[in-house]
Amino acid sequence: MIPTLLKAATNRLAAAGIEDAREDARALLRHALNLDAAGMIARGEATLSADEITRFEALITRRAAREPLSQIIGTQPFWTLDLIVTRDVLTPRSDTETLVAAALETVKDRKGPLRILDIATGSGAIALALLSELPDAVAVATDISPEALSIAKRNAGRTGLQARIRFEETSWADGIAGKFDLVVSNPPYIDPDVIAGLEPEVRDHEPRLALDGGKDGLEPYPHLLREARRLLAPRGHALFEIGHDQGRAALALARETGWSQSRILTDLGGRDRVLCVHD
């Protein structure tokens, strides 16, 4: 029964244009049955109950309509964490792990008392991933969306990191004072003219506020670069996620705002992904 159901679901998702149809079908079956991978193996080819089949088919219907897998399941793996995801936040992606890894590479003493500022935190993914690797660090995370901050707070509790992070509802870093060893952000960086052509999972289900980066997708960066100048401690680093085709423009903006030490870091696919600046 299970192989037959999976085959039919895979075909349905593939027909809907979903690239990883088989993997998504298996993930949704595990979710419908409330099983992990080991539990699925243990079920073998067992017959499912009518209720289990109904639950599974309802999930497949949602995915075939291009609702994101992360929102259907309600969580998304990121770094070593498993984070809550809803329509109020971007789904954390592996691209952003490039920023986390790059930020960690700038830290000489991972057991030091570092201060982190995560601007436009969304789900809290970046700040929480960094805190999970830096046991004596503390963080401030900002977002203009109260709904996003609610999810980020839940993720802080879910990961056991709530005692080391403070959340502030504000635009960018407005009202934030003090000096930080790391300033990080994954701001909106998509040109609004491009949004209509994005995959339905992104275009129709993720918050436009977290996608729309204004003209050429670059409007947030001059402000963020100036804020980094104000908020970075001596020998601190600021790292911002960028679009894969924005490296040259981002470097130019960094130099225009006085950052002589700036570089572009690439993701695992060799695409521009992170702007890093420091004194």
Q: Does residue 159 belong to any structural domain of this protein?
A: yes
| Total count of domains within the chain | 2
Angle CA 127–131–137, to nearest 5:
110
Question: Which residues are CB-contacts of 56 (< 8 A; sequence separation ≥ 6)?
Answer: 5, 9, 28, 29, 32, 33, 48
Q: Are residues 227 and 173 in the same domain?
A: yes
Phi, psi of 278 (to 5 degrees): -165, 165
pLDDT for the residue numbered 236: 96
Q: Are residues 60 and 27 in the same domain?
A: yes
What 3-state DSSP class applies to 138? strand
Beta partners for residue 76, in sequence order: 83
What distance in Å separates the CA atoms of residue 136 and residue 112, rounded to the nearest whole number? 6
Q: Which residues of the chain have pLDDT under 50?
A: none
pLDDT for the residue numbered 48: 82
pLDDT for the residue numbered 40: 67
Q: Are residues 30 and 86 in the same domain?
A: no
Q: Are residues 109 and 161 in the same domain?
A: yes
Q: Does residue 210 belong to any structural domain of this protein?
A: yes
Domain end position, chosen among 37, 65, 93:
65
pLDDT for the residue numbered 74: 97
What 3-state DSSP class applies to 261? strand
- Please tell me the total number of residues recorded for the chain in this structure: 279
Q: Does residue 70 belong to any structural domain of this protein?
A: no
Q: Are residues 155 and 206 in the same domain?
A: yes
Domain end position, chosen among 14, 45, 65:
65
Q: Are residues 61 and 137 in the same domain?
A: no
Q: Are residues 167 and 249 in the same domain?
A: yes
Taking the CA atoms of residue 227, residue 230, residue 231 and residue 232 in that order, the dihedral angle to the nearest 10 degrees is 110
Q: Are residues 158 and 209 in the same domain?
A: yes
Q: Are residues 8 and 79 in the same domain?
A: no
Beta partners for residue 106, in sequence order: none
pLDDT for the residue numbered 273: 97
Q: Are residues 153 and 273 in the same domain?
A: yes
Residue type at position 271? R
Q: Are residues 247 and 122 in the same domain?
A: yes
Show the domain range for 55. Answer: 2-65
Q: Are residues 42 and 84 in the same domain?
A: no
Chain center to CA of 97: 8
pTM of the model: 0.93
CATH (domain of 125): 3.40.50.150
H helical segments located in the chain? 2-15, 21-33, 37-43, 50-64, 69-73, 94-105, 125-133, 146-158, 192-195, 200-203, 220-231, 247-256
Q: Does residue 16 belong to any structural domain of this protein?
A: yes
